Structure 1
Amino acid sequence: MTARGPERAGGPTHDPAAGNIPRPPLTLVTRERLHAALDLGVRSSLTVLVAPAGTGKTVLLSDWVARRQRSGQPVVWVPGQTPGALSEVLERVADAGDSAVPDPVVVDDAHLLPPSAVAEVARVLQQSPDAVRLLLATRYDLPLPVSEFELRGMALTLRSRDLRFNDAEATELVQAHAQNATVEDIKVFQEKTAGWAAALVLAARTLQASGDAVWPLVNQRPVLDLLLGETLGTLEQGVQAMLVSTFGATSLTGHLATILSGDPGAGSMLADLAGNGLLVTEYADGEGGDPLYRYHPLLVELLRRRIAASAVDRALVVDAQHRSALYYENRGDTEAALRSALGAGDGPLIGRILLRHGPALVSAGESDLVAAGFEALPSGYVDQHPQMIGVRGLLRRVTGDVAGAVLDAGSADRAAGTDAVTPDDEALAADAVLLRLWESRYGWYDADSAIGRARSLLAPAGGGGRTHAVLGPERLALLLIELAAAEIWADDLDAALGHLDEALVTARMAGHSRLIAGGLAHRAVVQYARGQVQNASRSARGALDAGGDQGLPEEYAVRAQVVLGFAALCELDLDTAWQCHQLVAATGVAGSDAVVGSLRAMLRAVLLVEGGRLDEALTELTTDPASAGPLPSFLSRDLALLRFRLAILVGDQAGVETQVKVLERTGNAAEAELIRAMTSIVQEDIQTTVKLIDGVLDRPAVYPPLAAAAASFRTVLLARTGDEAAADAALVDTLNRVMPQRLLHALVPAGHEPAFLDRLRRQTTSPNPHPFAAVALEKLAGDQAAELQAGGMTLLARTRPHTRAPVPRRLEAVINGARIQLTAREADVLDELALGSSYTEIAQALFITENTVKTHLMSLYRKLGVEKRSAALRVARSAGLL
Structure 2
Amino acid sequence: MSEEDGGTGTRSQSDTPAQGRGTRVTSPRPDRAREQFRYPADGTIARPPLTLVTRERLHSALDLGVHSPLTMVVAPPGTGKTVLLSDWVTRRRQSAQPVVWLRGQAPGVLEGVLEWVREGDGPAVTDPIVVDDAHLLPAAVVGEMSRVLQETPHAVRLLLATRYDLLLPVSELEVRGMALTLRSRELRFNDAEAAALVRAHAQDASPADIMLVQEKAAGWAAALVLAARTLQASGDVVWPLGNQGEVLDLLLGETLNTLDKRVQAMLLSTFGATTLSGRLAEVLSGDSEAGSMLADLAGSGLLVTAYADDSASKPLYRYHPLLVELLRRRIAASADDRQLVVSAQHRSALYYENRGDSGSALRSAVDADDAALVERILLGHGPELLAAGKADLVAVGFDALPAGYLDEHPHLLGVRGLLRRVSGDVSGAVLDAAAADERAADRAAATPDDDALEADAALLRLWRSRYGWQDVQEAIAKARSLLTGGHSSPPAVLGPERLAWLLIELAATETWADDLDAALTHLDEALVTARMAGHHRLIAGCLAHQAVVHYARGQVQNAARSAQASFDVGGRESLPEEYSARANVVLGLAAVNELDLDTGWKYHRVVAGTEVAGSDTVVAGLRTMLRAVLLIERGRLGEALTELTADPTAAGPLPSFLSRDLALARAWLAALLGDTSTVGTQVTVLERTGNSTEAGLVRAMTSMISEDAETALKQLDAGLDQPGLYPPLASAAASFRTVLLSRTGDETAAEAALLDTLNRVTPQHMLHALASVADDPVLLDLLRRNATGPNPHPYAAAALEKLSGHRAGWSKAGGMSPLVRVRPGAQAPPPRRLDALVNGVHVRLTAREAEVLDELALGSSYSEIAQALFITENTVKTHLISLYRKLGVDKRSAALRAARSTGLL
TM-score range, shorter chain: 0.5 to 0.7
Aligned pair count reads 635
Question: Is the aligned partner of 1:739 residue 2:635?
Answer: no
Q: Go from structure 1 to structure 2 and tell me whether the alpha carbon gap of 1:655 and 1:179 turns closer, same or farther (over 3 Å shift).
A: closer
Equivalent-residue separation in structure 2 for 1:692 and 1:569 (angstroms) = 28
Residues 464, 285 of structure 1: CA spacing in aligned structure 2 closer, same or farther, 3 A cutoff? Answer: farther
Alignment identity in percent? 65
TM-score, normalised relative to structure 1: 0.68
| SS of 1:293 mapped into structure 2 | strand
Alignment pair present for 1:187 and 2:104: no
Distance 1:552 1:576, change over 3 A: same
Question: CA 1:173 to 1:714, structure 2 compared with 1: closer, same or farther past 3 Å?
Answer: farther
Is 2:526 the partner of 1:503? yes
Answer yes or no: is the 8 Å Cα contact 1:170–1:190 preserved in 2.
no
Q: Please give the alpha-carbon distance, in whole angstroms, between the structure 2 residues aligned to 1:227 and 1:611.
A: 74
1:303 aligns with 2:327: yes
Cα offsets for 1:191-241 (capped at 9, x unmatched): 89xxxxxxxxxx999932399x99898952276665443333332222222
Partners in 2 of 1:629 and 1:576 — Cα distance? 33
Q: Does the C-alpha gap of structure 1 residues 168 and 224 become closer, same or farther in structure 2, counting only changes over 3 Å?
A: farther
- Cα deviations across residues 667-719 of structure 1 (Å, max 9, x unaligned)? 01110111111112123222332222122212330000001111111111111
Opposite residue 416 of structure 1, the aligned amino acid is A
Distance change (3 Å), C-alpha of 1:570 and 1:184: closer
Q: Which of 659, 663, 666 lines up with 1:640 in the alignment?
A: 663
Partners in 1 of 2:426 and 2:298 — Cα distance? 52
Corresponding position of 2:807: 784
Select which of 353, 364, 367 maps to 1:340: 364
Q: Does 1:235 align with 2:259?
A: yes
Q: Distance in 2 between the 1:335 and 1:446 partners?
A: 35
Does 1:434 pair with 2:459?
A: yes
Counterpart of 1:753 in structure 2 is 776
> Residue 584 of structure 1 aligns with which residue?
607
Structure 2 equivalent of residue 277 of structure 1: 301
8 Å Cα contact 1:589/1:596 also seen in 2: yes
What is the rounded CA distance, in whole Å, between the counterparts of 2:587 and 2:76 in structure 1?
A: 71
SS at match of 2:571: helix
1:510-659 correspondence to structure 2 within 5 Å:
510-548=533-571, 551-659=574-682
Q: Distance in 2 between matches of 1:426 and 1:366?
A: 23
CA contact (8 A) 2:415 2:456 kept: yes
Structure 2 CA distance for aligned equivalents of residues 648 and 328 of structure 1: 63
Q: Does 1:765 align with 2:788?
A: yes
Asked if 1:693 corresponds to 2:589, the answer is no
CA distance in 1, matches of 2:272, 2:456: 33
Superposed, which structure 2 residues align to 1:49-448 within 5 Å?
A: 167-169=59-61, 177-178=73-74, 186-187=82-83, 207-209=162-164, 219-221=243-245, 227-278=251-302, 280-286=304-310, 289-419=313-443, 420-448=445-473
Give the Cα separation in 1 of the matches to 2:599 and 2:462.
Answer: 33
RMSD: 3.2
CA distance in 1 between counterparts of 2:57 and 2:309 reads: 30
Deviations 1:540-575 (A, max 9, x none): 112122223761111111111111111111111112
Cα drift, residue 323 of structure 1: 0.4
Alignment CA distance shift 1:440-1:772 (3 Å): same
Query: Within the alignment, does 1:457 sit opposite 2:482 as a pair?
Result: yes
Cα distance, 1:170 vs. partner? 7.3
- The structure having more radius of gyration, on CA atoms, is 2
The CA deviation at 1:168 is 4.0
Residue pair 1:167, 1:190 contacting (<8 A) in 2 also: no
> In structure 2, how many angstroms separate the alpha carbons of the residues matched to 1:585 and 1:299?
50
Which of residues 653, 666, 679 in structure 1 aligns to 2:689?
666
Task: Measure how far apart 1:312 and its partner are.
Answer: 2.9
Q: Could you tell me which amino acid in structure 2 is paired with residue 388 of structure 1?
A: L
Which amino acid counterpart does residue 756 of structure 1 have in structure 2?
L
Separation (CA, whole Å) in 2 of partners of 1:668 and 1:371: 46
Deviates more, 1:690-699 or 1:404-413: 690-699
Deviation at 1:442, TM superposition (A): 0.6
Q: Determine the structure 1 residue equivalent to 2:735.
A: 712
* Partners of 2:477 and 2:250 in 1: CA distance: 67
Distance (Å, rounded) in 1 between the aligned partners of 2:542 and 2:252: 51
Alignment-mate amino acid for residue 442 of structure 1:
Y
Counterpart mapping for 1:670-681 below 5 A: 670-681=693-704
Contact 1:712–1:734 (8 Å) recurs in 2: yes
Corresponding letter in the other structure for 1:452: A
Give the distance between the partners of 2:822 and 2:755, measured in 1 at CA: 23
**Contact 1:171 1:186 (8 Å CA) reproduced:** no
Deviation at 1:585, TM superposition (A): 1.2
| Higher deviation after alignment, 456-465 or 374-383 | 456-465
User: How far apart are the structure 1 equivalents of 2:564 and 2:86?
Assistant: 57
Matched-pair contact (CA < 8 Å) for 2:75–2:81:
no
CA distance 1:451–1:209, change in 2 (3 Å)? same
* More displaced 10-residue stretch of structure 1: 266-275 or 372-381: 266-275
Q: Deviation at 1:324?
A: 0.5
Distance 1:520 1:754 in 2: 40
Structure 2 partner of 1:471:
494
SS of residue in 1 equivalent to 2:318: strand
- For residues 499 and 463 of structure 1, the distance between their equivalents in structure 2, rounded to whole angstroms, comes to 23
SS in 1 for 2:276: coil
Q: 1:191 to 1:341 in 2, by over 3 A?
A: farther
Amino acid at match of 2:701: M
**Cα deviation, residue 755, structure 1:** 2.1
How far has the Cα of 1:753 moved from its partner? 1.3
Task: Mark the CA change 1:164 to 1:566 in structure 2 (over 3 Å): closer, same or farther.
Answer: farther
Q: In 2, Cα distance between the equivalents of 1:752 and 1:572?
A: 14
Q: Is the 1:324–1:340 Cα contact (8 Å) retained in structure 2? A: yes
Q: CA deviation at 1:289?
A: 3.3
Do 1:540 and 1:561's aligned partners in 2 also have CA atoms closer than 8 Å?
yes
Moved more, 677-686 or 509-518: 677-686
Query: How far is the alpha carbon of 1:286 from its aligned partner?
Result: 4.1
CA distance in structure 2 between the aligned counterparts of 1:161 and 1:622, rounded to whole angstroms = 76
Offset at 1:531? 0.6
Contact 2:440 2:450 in 1 (8 A): yes
1:86 alignment partner in structure 2? none
CA offsets, 1:131-172, max 9 Å, x none?
A: xxxxxxxxxxxxxxxxxxxxxxxxxxxxx9998856445788
Cα contact 2:306–2:315 (8 A) shared by 1? yes
Tell me the TM-score normalised to structure 2 length.
Answer: 0.66
Amino acid at match of 2:789: S
Quickly say closer, same or farther: Cα 1:733–1:284, change in 2 above 3 A: same
Query: Which of the numbers 780, 791, 796 marks the counterpart of 2:819?
Result: 796
Q: 1:424 to 1:287 in 2, by over 3 A?
A: closer
- Please list every run of 5 or more consecutive structure 2 residues that lacks an aligned counterpart in the other structure: 1-6, 9-51, 89-132, 136-160, 167-186, 188-220, 227-241, 829-905
8 Å CA contact retained: 1:270, 1:280? yes
Residue type of the alignment partner of 2:393: L
* Inter-CA distance 297–537: structure 2 relative to 1 (3 Å threshold): farther
